[in-house]
Structure 1
């Protein structure tokens, strides 16, 4: 009997099925279809970085879930595997928590993001004439300088506006260890922190606050970071190592990389995703531009990520091996 010829429709269906199977093979036949859970925090850049990584992984066929999590407390979930990927752990504020977690063997550092972190006490340039010893931190010990940065709620002490408490940073400890006549007030959110800067700058009002980079603020506003005694691990861990023999944190914050970190089981459960996350890299200028689009120009995180992916297709396809 002569074999019945395959119809074009059946041939097309088989071709489509083969393509789908090939796509699944690209992800890895042995990889789990469970959702990879990426943590979201409370600042714009981290939301962008996380969604960018998540959308790239979706292009590779992975199931992605975004989970709101506390910046430092998230390590409990990463260690158990209830959470899987944290795209930004800053050398400036998260190093201790990251090191303690990776020491358990239950979490892994997936390498640097390519961005360099700086966050420290910052003041607008118009305040320098009222405290001419700046940026040297010792100028802040002058009662007249402290009062120049005071508000009705803190006078005669200066007011330092810190980030949300969940960010860490040891600013309260720093004030005590260096005997600074300042009171630390924590902003409730990232948005509130920069809204207060915007308001103060427009009025040329006194303000000393936590500014970080990569971000649009250091580019938009003229000002300087306070120069504290140089950070060392001993300064944070050994009171005898710094200026104050009785208290730790008598130095500035560390500067350095922003790291990717996550559950150590990721590489076995989703090896292709592990490779892509490790390959991910972006620089301060790119991130600063995207944050500006969201915070100043009113775009959504989703739109900014989509624009970046459209302009960098060859790059992110290289991360997922396409």
Structure 2
């Protein structure tokens, strides 16, 4: 039988051993800075992630940031997490940031991105040959999409300049008789679509998915030459041997990215961010509720949290 003195020595030895072992990693009490951009889906995605992290006990701070310029902050750790980096428009900036060793790809969100030139079906009779991009080369087609400010050139309504997308370069490389006009905001872009559609007026614009617009309006995306990384980076590749961007936009994942130090400073939050997963249909429904039904991002987020408790608790190991 072990004596009381022996037991005491064993207990002390165990305590000393426990003190010598490193403690389990805990998340820093410092705020995790999540970036906010200027479109509804990203605000929802980020608020959901933020609320999940708060439920896990993390301190969360939301920071308004430019979609592409945010990488400067992510590289220095002044910003921590960006919940939506679209393969269609942000891949080059993301890859460049990751190459510095200061930014990490936290994996796919589960949503698939599509962004391209889009037109209502009622315009197809006025521009025979669509959705093939060659139809846009015809002067009559360009004029059908023109406005007083662009005639005889067609008008293409692009997203805000901060979204990137290389539409100006695409017009030049493919010698399209179109003028790119950039909408000031996401809201302005879709308000103009709504107005034109109601009047059956000509419009060609940037439409993206996941979003409610492709479901609400009948239309098609223009079919440009298929994207390849070489098309963007090597002028000799593609239909124009002298210019890059002579192809369509890439399709693919919407990624989560962030400062490389997140995994060490907030290991629990890091695991939850990597586990985050939402699909297009689910996000499209929530965007519809905000943009068309008048709910706030916060209301939609709270409803999602209540309806998906088992799901998000698994992300934080509860």
The question of a shared fold, defined as TM-score above 0.5 by the shorter chain, is answered with: yes
2:157 pairs with 1:157: no
2:272 pairs with 1:276: yes
Match of 1:129 among 125, 129, 149: 125
Equivalent residue for 2:173? 177
Equivalent residue for 1:107? 103
SS of equivalent to 2:236: helix
2:207 pairs with 1:211: yes
2:252 pairs with 1:252: no
Q: Where do residues 141-156 of structure 1 align in structure 2 (5 Å cutoff)?
A: 141-156=137-152
Deviations for 1:119-159, whole angstroms, at most 9, x for unmatched residues?
00000000000001100000000000000000000000000
Equivalent residue for 1:71? 67
Q: Where do residues 1-322 of structure 1 align in structure 2 (5 Å cutoff)?
A: 30-322=26-318
SS of equivalent to 1:240: coil
The Cα shift of 1:218 comes to: 0.0
The Cα shift of 1:270 comes to: 0.3
The Cα shift of 1:65 comes to: 0.1
Deviations for 1:200-221, whole angstroms, at most 9, x for unmatched residues?
0000000000000000000000
Deviations for 1:31-72, whole angstroms, at most 9, x for unmatched residues?
210000000000000000000000000000000000000000
Contact 2:146 2:153 (8 Å CA) reproduced: yes
The Cα shift of 1:29 comes to: 5.8
Rounded Cα–Cα distance in structure 1 between residues aligned with 2:28 and 2:306: 28
Rounded Cα–Cα distance in structure 2 between residues aligned with 1:276 and 1:316: 8
Rounded Cα–Cα distance in structure 2 between residues aligned with 1:109 and 1:125: 38
Rounded Cα–Cα distance in structure 2 between residues aligned with 1:295 and 1:32: 36
SS of equivalent to 1:71: coil
Contact 2:210 2:283 (8 Å CA) reproduced: yes
Rounded Cα–Cα distance in structure 1 between residues aligned with 2:226 and 2:238: 10
Q: Structure 1: any 5+ residue segments left out of the alignment?
A: 1-27
Instruction: Give the TM-score taking structure 1 as reference length.
Output: 0.91
Q: Structure 2: any 5+ residue segments left out of the alignment?
A: 1-23
Contact 2:25 2:267 (8 Å CA) reproduced: no
Rounded Cα–Cα distance in structure 2 between residues aligned with 1:305 and 1:34: 23
Contact 2:74 2:81 (8 Å CA) reproduced: yes
Q: Which runs of 4+ in 1 moved over 6 A?
A: none
Rounded Cα–Cα distance in structure 1 between residues aligned with 2:27 and 2:95: 28
SS of equivalent to 1:321: coil
Rounded Cα–Cα distance in structure 2 between residues aligned with 1:151 and 1:216: 26
Instruction: Give the TM-score taking structure 2 as reference length.
Output: 0.92
SS of equivalent to 1:239: coil
